[in-house]
Amino acid sequence: MPSKIKSSRDLEKLQQALSKKPDTGKPRISVCNGTACRPYGSNPVVDAFKLEIEKRALDNQLEFKVTGCHGFCERGPIAIIEPGNIFYQKIKVEDVAEIIEKTLKKETIGRLLYKDPGTNLETVKQDDLPFYRNQKRIILGNNTRIDPTSIEDYIAIGGYSALAKALSTMQPEQIIDVVKQSGLRGRGGGGFLTGSKWETCRNAHGDVKYVIVNADEGDPGAYANEGLLTGNPHSVLEGLIIGAFAIGSHQGYIYVRNEYPLALKNVTTAMQQAEKLGLLGKNILGSGFDFSVRVNRGGGAFVCGESTALMASLEGKTGEPRAKYVHTVEKGLWDSPSDLNNVETWANIPQIINNGAAWFSSIGTKGNTGTKIFSLTGKVNNTGLVEIPMGIKLREIIFDIGGGIRGGKKFKAVQTGGPSGGCLPEKLIDLSVDFDELTKAGAMMGSGGMIVMDEDNCMVDVARYFLTFLEEESCGKCVPCREGIKRMRQILNDITEGKGREGDLDLLKELSSHLKDSSLCALGGSAPNPVLTTIKYFSEEYEAHIKQKKCPAGVCKMLIQFSIIDEKCPGCGMCVKVCPSNAITDMGKKKPVVLDQSKCIKCRTCYDICRMGAVKIE
Amino acid sequence: MSESVTLTINGQKYSAEKGKTVLQVAADNGIKIPTLCHHEEIEPYGACRLCIVEITRGTRNRIVTSCLYPVEEGLVVQTDSPRVVRNRKMLLDLLLARCSENKVIKGLAAEYGIEKPSFREEYREKHDCIVCGLCVRACEQVVGVSAISLVNRGIHKEPKPPYLERAKACIGCGSCFYVCPTNAIQMEDKNGIRRIDRWKVEFKLKKCSKCGIEWAPVAQLEYIRKKWDLPAGFFDICPNCK
Amino acid sequence: MKDKVTAIIKKYDNDKSQLVSILQDVQAEYNYLPRAALDKLSKKMDIPQSQVYSLATFFRAFSLKERGKHIVNVCLGTACHVRGGELILESLERQLDIQRGNTTKDNNFTLETVNCMGCCATGPVVKINDEYFGHMTNDKVEPMIKKYSK
pLDDT, one tens digit per residue, over B10-34 is 999 999 999 999 999 999 999 999 9
Q: Quote the ipTM score.
A: 0.95
Tell me which DSSP letter residue B181 carries: T
Report the mean per-residue pLDDT for chain A: 94
Out of C10, C32, C58, a domain closes at C58
Question: Nearest CA to CA, how far is A388 from chain C (Å)?
Answer: 17
Q: What is the CATH number of the domain that holds A218?
A: 3.40.50.11540
Neighbours of A195 (CB within 10 A): 22
pLDDT at A22: 57
Whether A491 is in a domain gets the answer yes
E strand spans, C45-137 = 70-75, 109-114, 126-128, 131-133
Tell me which DSSP letter residue A316 carries: T
Claim to verify: residue A396 and residue A264 sit in the same structural domain: no
**pLDDT over 90 (residue C68):** yes
Claim to verify: residue A155 and residue A229 sit in the same structural domain: yes
* CA-based nearest residue in chain A for residue C115: A220
**pLDDT over 80 (residue A602):** yes
Identify the bridge partners of residue A58 per DSSP, sorted by sequence position.
none
For residues A73-99, give the mean pLDDT.
Answer: 94
Asked if B162 lies within 8 A of C50 by C-beta distance, the reply is yes
Whether C19 is in a domain gets the answer yes
What is the rounded distance in angstroms from the CA atom of residue B174 to the CA atom of residue A87? 71
Determine what percent of chain A is predicted with pLDDT higher than 70. 99
pLDDT, one tens digit per residue, over A524-580 is 999 999 999 999 999 999 999 999 999 999 999 999 999 999 999 999 999 998 898
Identify the bridge partners of residue B207 per DSSP, sorted by sequence position.
B214
pLDDT at C82: 85
What is the rounded distance in angstroms from the CA atom of residue A109 to the CA atom of residue B119? 64
Residue B125 neighbours by CB under 8 Å, 6+ apart: B97, B98, B99, B100
Domain that holds residue C140: 70-148
Claim to verify: residue C83 and residue C47 sit in the same structural domain: no
Residues of B in contact with A483 (CB under 8 A): 94-95, 97-98
What is the rounded distance in angstroms from the CA atom of residue A213 to the CA atom of residue A244? 11
Claim to verify: residue A332 and residue A228 sit in the same structural domain: yes
- If pLDDT is split at 50, 70 and 90, which confidence band does A608 have? confident
- If pLDDT is split at 50, 70 and 90, which confidence band does A588 have? confident
**pLDDT over 80 (residue A24):** no
CB A219 within 8 A of CB A522: no
CB A110 within 8 A of CB A201: no
Q: Tell me phi and psi for residue B177, to 5 degrees.
A: -65, -45
What part of A 269-328 touches C (C-beta under 8 Å)? 296-302, 313-319
Instruction: Pick the closest to residue A294 from C63, C32, C11 (CA basis).
Output: C11
Claim to verify: residue C76 and residue C129 sit in the same structural domain: yes
Claim to verify: residue A125 and residue A253 sit in the same structural domain: no
Asked if A511 lies within 8 A of B52 by C-beta distance, the reply is no
Higher pLDDT pick, A348 / A261: A348
E strand spans, B68-199 = 76-78, 149-151, 158-160, 187-190, 193-196
Question: In B, what residues contact C, Cβ < 8 A?
Answer: 140, 145-153, 161-163, 167-169
Claim to verify: residue C52 and residue C94 sit in the same structural domain: no
Q: Tell me phi and psi for residue C125, to 5 degrees.
A: -115, 140
Whether A556 is in a domain gets the answer no
What is the rounded distance in angstroms from the CA atom of residue A552 to the CA atom of residue A463? 15
Most A CBs within 10 Å: which of C27, C122, C144, as the mutation test of the A interface?
C122
Residues of A in contact with B98 (CB under 8 A): 483
Q: Are strands A114-115 and A86-88 parallel, antiparallel or unpaired?
A: unpaired
Q: What is the CATH number of the domain that holds C140?
A: 3.40.30.10
Instruction: Pick the closest to residue A532 from A596, A488, A479 (CA basis).
Output: A488
Claim to verify: residue C74 and residue C45 sit in the same structural domain: no
Whether C132 is in a domain gets the answer yes
Whether C137 is in a domain gets the answer yes
For residues A578-604, give the mean pLDDT.
Answer: 91
pLDDT at A597: 93
CB A205 within 8 A of CB A317: no
Question: Nearest CA to CA, how far is C52 from chain B (Å)?
Answer: 8
CB C92 within 8 A of CB C73: no
What part of B 141-170 touches A (C-beta under 8 Å)? 150, 152-157
Claim to verify: residue A507 and residue A583 sit in the same structural domain: no
Out of A513, A546, A579, a domain closes at A546
Claim to verify: residue C95 and residue C140 sit in the same structural domain: yes
Claim to verify: residue A310 and residue A439 sit in the same structural domain: no
* CA-based nearest residue in chain A for residue C52: A317
What is the rounded distance in angstroms from the CA atom of residue A522 to the CA atom of residue A446? 12
Residues of C in contact with A222 (CB under 8 A): 116, 120
pLDDT, one tens digit per residue, over C72-97 is 999 998 888 888 899 999 999 999 99
Neighbours of A184 (CB within 10 A): 23
Whether A555 is in a domain gets the answer no
pLDDT at A23: 55
- If pLDDT is split at 50, 70 and 90, which confidence band does A221 have? confident
Instruction: Pick the closest to residue C18 from C41, C48, C50 (CA basis).
Output: C41
C-alpha distances in angstroms, B230 versus B145, B223, B233, B235? 19, 10, 9, 9
Out of A523, A546, A569, a domain closes at A546
Asked if B148 lies within 8 A of C50 by C-beta distance, the reply is yes
* CA-based nearest residue in chain C for residue A316: C17
Claim to verify: residue A67 and residue A103 sit in the same structural domain: yes
Whether C85 is in a domain gets the answer yes
**pLDDT over 90 (residue A485):** yes
Residue type, A4: K
Claim to verify: residue C36 and residue C88 sit in the same structural domain: no
Question: Nearest CA to CA, how far is B28 from chain A (Å)?
Answer: 21
For residues A8-15, give the mean pLDDT.
Answer: 93
Chain B interface includes C51 (CB < 8 A)? yes
Q: What is the CATH number of the domain that holds A423?
A: 3.10.20.600
Integer-rounded Cα Rg, in Å, for chain A is: 26
What part of A 426-465 touches C (C-beta under 8 Å)? 449, 451, 453, 457, 462, 465
For residues C106-111, give the mean pLDDT.
Answer: 95
Q: What is the CATH number of the domain that holds A105?
A: 3.40.30.10
Claim to verify: residue C44 and residue C77 sit in the same structural domain: no
Residue type, A477: K
Claim to verify: residue A197 and residue A303 sit in the same structural domain: yes
Determine what percent of chain A is predicted with pLDDT higher than 90. 85
DSSP assignment of A260-313 equals: -HHHHHHHHHHHHHHHHTTSSBSSGGGSS--BEEEEEE--S-GGGGSHHHHHHH
Claim to verify: residue A342 and residue A370 sit in the same structural domain: no
Chain B interface includes A500 (CB < 8 A)? no
Of the candidate ranges B60-74, B81-95, C78-92, the one whose mean pLDDT is the lowest = C78-92
- If pLDDT is split at 50, 70 and 90, which confidence band does A139 have? very high
Neighbours of C20 (CB within 10 A): 28
Asked if A457 lies within 8 A of C132 by C-beta distance, the reply is no
Count of the separate structural domains present in chain C? 2
Claim to verify: residue A310 and residue A256 sit in the same structural domain: yes
Whether C92 is in a domain gets the answer yes
- Domain segments of chain B as ranges: 4-80, 84-123, 134-241
* CA-based nearest residue in chain C for residue B158: C54
A558-561 contact pairs (CB < 8 A, 24+): A558/A496, A558/A497, A558/A498, A559/A496, A559/A497, A559/A498, A560/A602, A560/A617, A560/A618, A561/A597, A561/A600, A561/A617, A561/A618
E strand spans, A380-437 = 384-389, 411-416, 422-425
Q: Tell me phi and psi for residue B216, to 5 degrees.
A: -165, 155
Q: How far apart are the first and last CA of chain B?
A: 40
E strand spans, A390-499 = 411-416, 422-425, 449-454
Q: Is C13 exposed, middle or buried (0-12, 13-18, 19+ CB in 10 A)?
A: exposed
Q: Are strands A368-369 and A364-365 parallel, antiparallel or unpaired?
A: antiparallel
For residues A81-95, give the mean pLDDT.
Answer: 95
Chain A interface includes B51 (CB < 8 A)? no
Q: How far apart are the first and last CA of chain C?
A: 28
Whether A120 is in a domain gets the answer yes
Query: B4-80 has which fold?
Result: Ubiquitin-like (UB roll) (3.10.20)
pLDDT at B2: 73
Domain that holds residue A52: 24-131
What is the rounded distance in angstroms from the CA atom of residue A552 to the CA atom of residue A544? 7
- Give the SS3 label for residue A74: helix
* CA-based nearest residue in chain C for residue A477: C58
pLDDT at C139: 87
What is the rounded distance in angstroms from the CA atom of residue A464 to the CA atom of residue A495? 9
In C39-67, which positions are buried (b, 16+ CB within 10 angstroms) versus exposed (e)?
bbbbeebebbbbbbbbbbbbbbbbbeeeb
Of the candidate ranges A534-548, B43-57, C116-130, the one whose mean pLDDT is the lowest = C116-130
Question: Nearest CA to CA, how far is C84 from chain A (Å)?
Answer: 9
Question: Nearest CA to CA, how far is B217 from chain A (Å)?
Answer: 31
Asked if A473 lies within 8 A of C76 by C-beta distance, the reply is no
What is the rounded distance in angstroms from the CA atom of residue C31 to the CA atom of residue C25? 10
pLDDT at A315: 93
Q: Is A570 exposed, middle or buried (0-12, 13-18, 19+ CB in 10 A)?
A: middle
What is the rounded distance in angstroms from the CA atom of residue A217 to the CA atom of residue A309? 14
Neighbours of B103 (CB within 10 A): 11
Claim to verify: residue A487 and residue A541 sit in the same structural domain: yes
Claim to verify: residue A343 and residue A202 sit in the same structural domain: yes
Chain B interface includes C53 (CB < 8 A)? yes
Of the candidate ranges A13-17, A114-118, A132-136, B206-210, the one whose mean pLDDT is the lowest = A114-118
Residues of C in contact with A260 (CB under 8 A): 118
What is the rounded distance in angstroms from the CA atom of residue A518 to the CA atom of residue B65? 8
Q: How far apart are the first and last CA of chain A?
A: 63
Q: What is the CATH number of the domain that holds A576?
A: 3.30.70.20
What is the rounded distance in angstroms from the CA atom of residue A568 to the CA atom of residue A289? 74
pLDDT, one tens digit per residue, over A30-56 is 999 998 888 888 999 999 999 999 999
List of chains touching A (3+ CB pairs within 8 A): B, C
For residues B187-201, give the mean pLDDT.
Answer: 96
CB B13 within 8 A of CB B6: yes
What is the rounded distance in angstroms from the CA atom of residue B6 to the CA atom of residue B74? 6
What is the rounded distance in angstroms from the CA atom of residue A378 to the CA atom of residue A373? 16
Of the candidate ranges A22-36, A177-191, B53-67, B184-198, the one whose mean pLDDT is the lowest = A22-36
